[in-house]
Chains A and B, each alone.
Chain A
Amino acid sequence: MKKTKKPTAIPVLPDARIGSIVGLLETLNEQGARVGISKLSESLRFELNDLMPITEAAELLGFVKIGNGDIELAELGRKVIDGDENAKKAIFRQQMTSNVLLAKRIQGELANSEDHRVGREVILEFLGSSFPPDESERQVRTVVDWARYAELFDYDSDSDQFFLPEIAETA
């Protein structure tokens, strides 16, 4: 049987909300140094399954270091905690632009589109090469949550379109 070339897999965006990610950093800061992830889940009364996506998201964004089952606050994570809300947002924005493929993809589509609007289906189709439909939906939900916080782009759930808010406002 002839092998078809597998399309490049899109990395999974962990299903974690902004508040939980920042909350994790604050908790790590309080606990100091390295902490075992399973110990952390115990002390937070969090199922390991529920905690994992949050730690993975923090790692993807460069806020923590994970190794041998331990988690530790990285320099950038400390900056997130110390910064005010605008500084936090700026760090999220920078990290999403460099580390989150899906965010980069949507930004690219928005830049190329004439009215700076992109339909949800365009992105779901892109995700469809790597994920089943329900996971694609989850990926979109997560990236919208993060992008709104980072003020990278916005999503209009009435028209099911991604858009760039500052352009929509001046138009």
Chain B
Amino acid sequence: MTSQIQDTSSSASVVPESPVPLLELREITKSFPNRIHILGPISLVVQEGEFVVVIGPSGAGKSTLLRTITGLTDVTSGEVLYRGQRISGVNPRTALVFQSFALFPWLTVMENVALGLEARGLDKPTRYSRARRYIDMVGLDGYERAYPRELSGGMKQRVGLARALTVEPELLCMDEPFSGLDALTASNLREQLLDIWLSKQIVTNTIILVTHSVEEAVLLGDRILLMAAAPGTIVGDYPITLDRPRKRKSLQFEEKLDELYSLIV
């Protein structure tokens, strides 16, 4: 578990200067109004460019953690810092992709993707040209006029991904984005996400993804955070240094997988 308390009172000339992390959680906790304590304390530092995967049992507060990071949920105590600045309310530099896709059924693919830009005060031509760029990027061109009901689960999640990318977040949070999909569709979308992320054609360079699949975690992550439940805390922080693209059948991959399984059980 990583915990860094920055000393702001002195100029700290002895300690080598570390860059301001993209995200820092300082002793955050979350309790419901009925005082049920569900999360924390959690301290965490995420550096720019990391692909962090969070795994843990259901009820460990993985989704709540993502919601506090994006600012959709307030913390009860502690601080969320983004590039060293304390954040309260929704952080516009982040976006969240949901497991349930969360699309509006009465809007077309284009309208669903462009929707997130309306709140940013962009005019319609700008919104649509920006949306079109990300629709193309996730391979949805041709589907612009389709309604969600006409799409398979995999295509719906591409819409969810395009909608999140359209707001050009620096930090992309994904809450079990592939768990509602069959194995082949999920594998296809994972590849696509990695292609986009590794190609560096987007401003989004940092990803925090929640999953319950250890295999998915080892396929995707630079670093795996393991959470435990009641209350949700981070109980492990493991680097994954395997080369990309990662091959599920390779010996190194299987060793890493076994190692993680043994840590979890």
Q: Do A and B bind each other?
A: yes
A85 and B142 CA atoms in complex are apart in Å by 12
Interface size of B by CB at 8 A reads: 30
Q: Is A30 an interface residue (CB 8 A)?
A: yes
Smallest CB separation, B205 vs chain A (Å)? 20
A interface vs B, CB < 8 Å?
A: 17-20, 22-24, 26-27, 30-32, 44-46, 50, 54, 84-85, 88-89, 141, 144-145, 147-151, 154-157, 165
Q: Is B147 an interface residue (CB 8 A)?
A: yes
Cross-chain contact A154 with B145 (CB below 8 angstroms): yes
Residues of A within 8 A of B181 (CB): 19
Q: A151 with B141: in contact, given A30-B248, A30-B249 (CB under 8 Å)?
A: yes
CB-based nearest A residue for B137: A85
Q: Which of A26, A154, A165 contacts B187 (CB 8 A)?
A: A26
Cross-chain contact B191 with A26 (CB below 8 angstroms): yes
Residues of A within 8 A of B182 (CB): 20, 46, 50
Cross-chain contact B142 with A44 (CB below 8 angstroms): no
Residues of A within 8 A of B247 (CB): 30
Q: Is B146 an interface residue (CB 8 A)?
A: yes
Listed A/B pairs (28) with beta-carbon separation below 8 Å: A17-B152, A17-B154, A18-B152, A19-B152, A19-B154, A19-B181, A19-B188, A20-B154, A20-B182, A22-B188, A23-B184, A23-B186, A26-B188, A30-B247, A44-B183, A44-B184, A46-B182, A46-B184, A84-B195, A88-B139, A148-B146, A149-B139, A149-B142, A151-B142, A154-B142, A155-B146, A157-B146, A165-B142
Q: A89 with B142: in contact, given A26-B187, A27-B187, A46-B184 (CB under 8 Å)?
A: yes
Top 6 closest pairs, chain A to chain B, by CB? A19-B154, A23-B184, A23-B188, A17-B152, A148-B142, A151-B142
Residues of B within 8 A of A155 (CB): 146, 150
Smallest CB separation, B59 vs chain A (Å)? 24
Q: Is B197 an interface residue (CB 8 A)?
A: no
A23 and B155 CA atoms in complex are apart in Å by 13
Residues of B within 8 A of A17 (CB): 152, 154-155, 185
Residues of A within 8 A of B187 (CB): 23, 26-27
A150 and B153 CA atoms in complex are apart in Å by 18
B93-119 interface mask toward A, CB cutoff 8 Å, 1 = contact, 0 = none? 000000000000000000000000000
Cross-chain contact B184 with A54 (CB below 8 angstroms): yes
Smallest CB separation, B197 vs chain A (Å)? 14
Smallest CB separation, B103 vs chain A (Å)? 15
User: Of B147, B182, B184, B186, which is in contact with the most chain A CB atoms at under 10 Å from its CB?
Assistant: B184
A24-B184, A27-B183 given; 17 more Cβ-contact pairs under 8 Å: A17-B152, A17-B154, A18-B152, A19-B181, A19-B185, A20-B152, A32-B249, A46-B182, A50-B182, A85-B136, A85-B137, A85-B139, A89-B142, A148-B142, A151-B142, A154-B145, A157-B150
Q: Is B42 an interface residue (CB 8 A)?
A: no
Residues of A within 8 A of B184 (CB): 19-20, 23-24, 27, 44, 46, 54
CB-based nearest B residue for A163: B145
Residues of B within 8 A of A147 (CB): 142
Residues of A within 8 A of B227 (CB): none
